[in-house]
Structure 1
Amino acid sequence: MATQKLYAGVKLRETRGRLGLTQKAFAEKLGVSLPYLNQMENNNRPVSTGVVLALAAEFGFDVRELSTGDTERIVVDMREALADPVFADIAPPLADLRLAASNAPALARAFLELHRAYRENHEQLASLDEALGRDETLTQRSPWAEVRDFFHYCDNYLDAMDRAAERVASEAAQLGQSIDAFAEAKLSDMGVTLQRTDTETLRHYDDTTRILTLSARSAPATQRFQLLVQLGLLTQETLLEATLDFARFHTPEARGIAKIGLANYFAGAALMPYQVFLEQAQKERHDLERLSDRFGASIEQIAHRLSTLQRPGAKGIPFFFVRVDQSGTITKRHSATRLQFARFGGACPLWNVHRAFETPGRFLRQLAETPDGVRYFCLAHDVSKNGGSFHAPTRRYAIGLGCEVKHAPDLVYADNMETTNPQAFEPIGISCRICERTNCHQRSVPQLERRLSINPDVRGVLPYEMHRS
């Protein structure tokens, strides 16, 4: 198999800018000529092995950063956007998309943002019922999508927030206290009274009375997490607001949703502090149940935290993490891998995460291959969230966690699986709208960039055939 050339011009320019070096000085440090560096920074030439080694030797640079980041995510997102019929026959080739993602990521994101706005407005208009009349709120931008994309392009890792939470966890450890006992004491010192009552509301804080109420019906892990969320909201206000200002959200609603997301991030990072959690995850070979017992967190919280271990210089396995409801709608998604999830619609029906609802309490394993030939190890598990009483509804989800198969030996769940057997891998895709497979028995809609031919006298797996235009 040919070695894939590494083009990382944006990363090289960012690194040089961070170091405050001119092109000439940077070239001298890397042992290359000025024209050669210029060509690499503009992606006219791939980054050589010598430059990779020099980056590590001269600057202690984590060379894995060169091959990760936004480029693959942007390319996948642009491919999906360009599959929209509005672009018809003008979609550029994949090579051009890669150049745009590598050389002009800000422009590529602007294109994605424009297409997202078009899609949302188009779908809103298509679903309007004349009987409802005009509703101005329907034409507003979706704050959920804006916040989702913010975390998506931050690689789901926020260094300042993560380190602030780690300091809190370290302070608790130095005092010999559990993180929840430390949080209760900290809140008490701030004049906050903690109550646990029989209520369906998970958490309620009254700023006037300084009373924090947690639901006694919820699981201990949920109570612990919500306690830390409130600690983050009250003790990290400056950091929270600075991060929100940096993100430049377009609506107050998006800013409010993001603030909750950041507080949740703080809670997870305080409950599972980065370095300690990374070491334990490696030691336990990423056994979710053992990590859940060790950190007093839920299976979902553990899986989500594993997907955030992307600290420069101390990265964990690049995982994808997703949560779906019973209709197949994705309610949480993040990927540090090349596998990206559809921005519109649900996940591929061939993926094992959908089967988790059929086998509650079990971990389902799957070896899967995407149309681009990349192979993954996938783990799925159902997650039920009881309301705490007979009449309270039970919310049911399934979570998926996975990584490229080359990391499978580091996962206890991959033991005894035929990871070297090509026949053991099931074909999966991202979304039917952009999936290239022509003979999938679960296809719901044709690929948008394919031409269809329909013959009423022939019925194969699909009632039509797809051809390249």
Structure 2
Amino acid sequence: MAPHKLYAGTKLREMRARFGLTQREFAAKLGVSLPYLNQMENNNRPVSTTVILALAQEFGLDVTELSTGDSARLVSDLREILADPVFADVMPPLADLRLAASNAPALARAFIELHRSYRQTHERLASLDEALGRGDSRVQASPWDEVRDFFHYCDNYIDAVDRAAESFASQATGGRDIRAVALAALASRGIRVEMTEMEQLRRYDAQTRVLQISSRAAPQTQIFQLLLQTALLQQDKLIEATLDFARFQSDEARAIAKIGLANYFAGAALMPYNAFLEVAQEVRHDLELLSARFDASIEQVAHRLSTMQRPGNKGIPFFFVRVDQAGTITKRHSATRLQFARFGGACPLWNVHRAFETPRQFLRQLAETPDGVRYINLARDVSKPGGSFGAPVRRFAIALGCEVRHADKLVYADSLDVTKASAFEPIGISCRICERKTCHQRSVPPLERQLSINTDQRGVLPYEVN
């Protein structure tokens, strides 16, 4: 098999701009000619082994960064957007989408933003009362979607916040746990913490400087909320600087993102990067052992595993998703080639949907996506009781997975035959862009395929995909 050629023009241009170098200066440091560099930056030539070594030696680059990044996400997003019926039969070839994502990522993102604006307009017009009630005709992305995309394209790893949380957690020494550190940090600001019988998880009164934490909440949730409030108060300048960098379109998006960054800090302080990565590798990513070691919930541990992408010290690239009982994705992130549908629910063939049927049990699944990539998936329900009789139960299930080539590093892969092709279940992303012809769970036809309809026959589907 011919070796895979690596084209990374966008990454090279970004790195040169980051160090403030001209093409001539950059070429000299890499030991190549100016025309050769120009061709690599425009993806007319693959990045050579000599250049990869020079990048590592001269700039300390983690070479895995060259083959990762936004391209896979952009291609997935573009395919799903172009599957919208509004585009009818204009689906470009996959090769063209890959070229656009790698050579013109800014243009690809602009197209995604344009489609998002179109959808927003369409939804507003569908609700006439709402449309007539607004004096502002400008179209903006949903604040929630805008924030989710921010984390999505940051690879769900925010370096400055992660390192600040790790530094904060380093105070947990000499018998002091992270809860004691958080309480001390709050006390140093004159804040009194009270455990209160209430439905809200956390309530802070800036006037009285009293922080109330729900006594009904699980201990892990109580610690997390203490850390979250600590982040909002102690790390405000860092969080605000990060928000300035993100340039959100609305105050609502900025406010949502602020909570998101505070949540990120809390998770990273509860499970500091290097210590967490070391233990995760030691216990082969056993979620229950990690939960006990770091006094965190299963969901918190799974989510943290999906963020372990620090340059130069990366963990396994995991995907993480949380769904509700209707199959709607409420959290999503992928550091793998697998990308989630931006609109609609997850593929019904994923084991995450079966987790509701087997409470408090881990379900394992070997799965293969239409592009031939194989994964090992882990699913479990993480339903959250209301804390009192009659209080509503929030029902969710989570899935955590990675490419099967990492199976030897996962305790959950033990006893699974990852060499047997028939052991892998076919899964997809979205029916409209899934190319499988015989899926028994298909809800709508794939837009890239022609259909044959025979009124005298009926198979699994009422049509045949050509």
Name the TM-score, length of structure 2 as normaliser: 0.96
Aligned position for 1:71: 71
Residues 242-294 of structure 1, C-alpha deviation per residue, up to 9 Å, x if partnerless?
Answer: 11111111111111111110100000011111111111111111000000011
Give the whole-Å Cα distance in 1 for the aligned partners of 2:378 and 2:50: 38
Aligned position for 1:201: 200
Give the whole-Å Cα distance in 1 for the aligned partners of 2:49 and 2:226: 48
Give the whole-Å Cα distance in 1 for the aligned partners of 2:300 and 2:463: 43
Give the whole-Å Cα distance in 2 for the aligned partners of 1:241 and 1:230: 15
CA contact (8 A) 2:140 2:249 kept: no
CA contact (8 A) 1:454 1:464 kept: yes
Residues 114-169 of structure 1, C-alpha deviation per residue, up to 9 Å, x if partnerless?
Answer: 1112123224434x377x88443997641111111011011100011111111100
Deviation at 1:453, TM superposition (A): 3.1
Residues 47-82 of structure 1, C-alpha deviation per residue, up to 9 Å, x if partnerless?
Answer: 112222222233321100001110110011011111
1:144 aligns with 2:167: no
Q: Which amino acid aligns with 1:397?
A: F
1:327 aligns with 2:336: no
The 5 Å alignment of 1:80-95 reads 80-95=80-95
Give the whole-Å Cα distance in 2 for the aligned partners of 1:63 and 1:219: 42
Q: Which amino acid aligns with 2:331?
A: K
Q: Which amino acid aligns with 1:107?
A: L
Deviation at 1:112, TM superposition (A): 0.4
Give the whole-Å Cα distance in 2 for the aligned partners of 1:2 and 1:373: 18
Residue 240 and residue 417 in structure 1: after superposition, are their counterparts in 2 closer, same or farther (change >3 A)? same
The 5 Å alignment of 1:433-444 reads 433-444=432-443
Give the whole-Å Cα distance in 1 for the aligned partners of 2:459 and 2:284: 44
Give the whole-Å Cα distance in 2 for the aligned partners of 1:387 and 1:129: 36
CA contact (8 A) 1:8 1:47 kept: yes
Q: SS in structure 2 opposite 1:171?
A: coil
Q: SS in structure 2 opposite 1:378?
A: strand
Aligned position for 1:21: 21
Q: Which amino acid aligns with 1:414?
A: A
Give the whole-Å Cα distance in 1 for the aligned partners of 2:2 and 2:124: 46
Q: Which amino acid aligns with 2:158?
A: L
Structure 2 gap segments, 5+ residues each? none
Give the whole-Å Cα distance in 2 for the aligned partners of 1:339 and 1:313: 22
CA contact (8 A) 2:321 2:331 kept: yes
Give the whole-Å Cα distance in 1 for the aligned partners of 2:183 and 2:413: 39
The 5 Å alignment of 1:66-465 reads 66-126=66-126, 128=127, 134-136=132-134, 141-173=141-173, 176-465=175-464
Q: Which amino acid aligns with 2:345?
A: G
Aligned position for 2:53: 53
Give the whole-Å Cα distance in 2 for the aligned partners of 1:124 and 1:386: 35
Give the whole-Å Cα distance in 2 for the aligned partners of 1:154 and 1:59: 21
Q: Which amino acid aligns with 1:394?
A: V
Q: How many residues align?
A: 464
Q: SS in structure 2 opposite 1:385?
A: coil
Give the whole-Å Cα distance in 1 for the aligned partners of 2:398 and 2:112: 27
Structure 1 gap segments, 5+ residues each? none
Q: Which amino acid aligns with 1:30?
A: L
Give the whole-Å Cα distance in 2 for the aligned partners of 1:279 and 1:334: 22
Give the whole-Å Cα distance in 2 for the aligned partners of 1:47 and 1:416: 40
Give the whole-Å Cα distance in 2 for the aligned partners of 1:34 and 1:251: 43
Give the whole-Å Cα distance in 1 for the aligned partners of 2:446 and 2:64: 34
Q: SS in structure 2 opposite 1:366?
A: strand
Q: SS in structure 2 opposite 1:384?
A: coil
Residues 304-353 of structure 1, C-alpha deviation per residue, up to 9 Å, x if partnerless?
Answer: 00000111111100000000000100000000000000000000000000
Q: SS in structure 2 opposite 1:90?
A: coil
Name the TM-score, length of structure 1 as normaliser: 0.95
% identity of equivalent residues: 73
Give the whole-Å Cα distance in 1 for the aligned partners of 2:140 and 2:202: 29
Q: Which moved more, 1:93-102 or 1:283-292?
A: 93-102
Q: Which amino acid aligns with 2:185?
A: K
